[in-house]
Chain A
Amino acid sequence: MPSFWRKAWLIYRKDLTDEFRTTDHLLSTVVFGIMLVFVTSFALQLVDVSTNDVFPAVLWVSIFFMAVLALQRSFAKEVDSGALDALLLAAGDRSILFYAKFLFSLTVLLLLEAVVVPLLWVFISVAWRKADVLFLLAAIFFGSWGLAAVGTLLNAITVQLAGARLLFPILAFPLLIPVLIGAILCTQGALAGDRQSVLGWLYLLMIFDLLFTVIPLLLFDYILEG
């Protein structure tokens, strides 16, 4: 029998292969992200605001909305192709499935951000001379981790209910408020090149991430039973 992480890794690999073989979902999500960035930065141009001040907020609102599309993929595609039961049988322990799907969601989200964040950076023309790029990347990474963990958990919930896909953002956003605050303030600190003053917020993000990566161990069996 393959071990816990080995199984999770195999499902993760399967998901990535599958996702890149039929790129239509990935493609439309990335186009949506680009569109979002274009519309918001263009709208901000019209009212002429100071770009560095709004960048963190615009960045994370865009990431949140893009995540709504990206994170609804992990379990939905199994349900759509009628493969969820077989996958559950193959995995054995249900939390294996959670960690595999979480890693998959995180990877997809980071890939999308790799396209969208630089674009937003250019469109909004951020003053980057003082910016602490490493810290910005850390903020994006840990923020996305939290998004992916909560998103995977909730996607497993919403796919089981008929007509509940619209519920996903409604369920997710209240839970994600700490991520929104932490990530925006970290991004602001990174732009100002002042890592020390916002370091605590990075820790908050990490605590949130840890919590929502451990909670599924306890609750995921209940979500996917039956």
Chain B
Amino acid sequence: MQHGLKSPVFWALTLIILINMWVIVFYAPVEKTMGIVQKVFYFHVASAWVGLLALAVVCGASIHYLWKRTDQASNLALASAEIGTVFISCTLLTGPLWAYPIWNTWWTWDPRLTTTLVLWFMYVAYIALHGGDVTDTRKRLAAVYGIICFMNVPLVFFSTRWWRSIHPVVISTEGIGLTPKMRTAMFLSVAVFSLLYIHLLRIRMGSISLKHRVKRLKAQLFA
């Protein structure tokens, strides 16, 4: 696979992201009461979605690793966790930007905020466990931890939700509380962020397996 400026995927993705930015800024209407601040919503929701998707990928790849023991599965889990951390960080950073003018506070212990923060901690813990030296023990133990983390997310969410909630629920079982144009912009952002995630994932997986190869070659060389 070609990387960087030579890769057609890179240019295609750049174009799609520019279109997405145009849709967010010009196509989607400005929200009546919140004003321009609401635009951060499209970044916020899309990166939160990718953050959760990435954890599901970590869990799936971990199960696959424990089953088949392929290096690919383990690398996929690690790469997904690293990129998931970046996207969850984006969610945690864009949230307060919106919350301060709207809720008049940077942070509140709402279920979604708390769950997202716990998610972030779990990602960091996972990377701390999986990163570092490459051994089969580490890969195996990280896989177990990845699965436990994913199973823990619903528990964290429901326990915090039961406690209190003030976060706006935009998508519920009664439908989506957005105008059609906003809806288009939101779904486009989610799709584009997912594509970006997949692209980053492929690059990162490539670099992780290269790193492992360099380590192996070094070991051979100095053995």
Contacts and interface: CB of A to CB of B under 8 A. Distances in A.
Partners in one complex: yes
A177 B118 contact: yes
Given A174-B121, A185-B163, A215-B148, A167 B128 contact: yes
A222 B140 contact: yes
A174 B129 CA distance: 14
Chain B: interface secondary structure? helix
B152 A226 contact: no
Interface in B100-115: 114
Nearest to B155: A178
Interface in B162-212: 162-163
B149 A174 contact: yes
Contacts of B147: 219
A200 B162 contact: yes
A76 to B, nearest CB: 15
Nearest to A220: B144
A157 B151 contact: no
Interface string B84-128: 000000000000000000000000000000100010011011001
Interface residues of A, number: 28
B112 to A, nearest CB: 14
Nearest to B138: A161
B163 A211 contact: no
Q: Say which size band chain B's interface belongs to.
A: 20 to 34
Nearest to A171: B125
Interface string B122-161: 1011001100000011101101110111011001100110
A182 B156 CA distance: 11
B66 interface: yes
A100 B66 CA distance: 25
B144 A157 contact: yes
A160 interface: yes
A79 interface: no
Interface of A: 153-154, 157, 160-161, 164, 167, 170-171, 173-175, 177-178, 181-182, 185, 200, 204, 207-208, 211, 215, 219, 222-223, 225-226
Given A167-B128, A208-B155, 20 more contacts: A157-B129, A157-B141, A161-B137, A170-B128, A174-B149, A175-B148, A175-B152, A177-B114, A177-B118, A177-B159, A178-B155, A185-B163, A204-B162, A207-B155, A215-B148, A222-B140, A222-B144, A223-B140, A223-B141, A226-B137
**A-B pairs with lowest CB-CB distance, top 6:** A174-B121, A178-B159, A174-B122, A157-B141, A170-B125, A178-B155
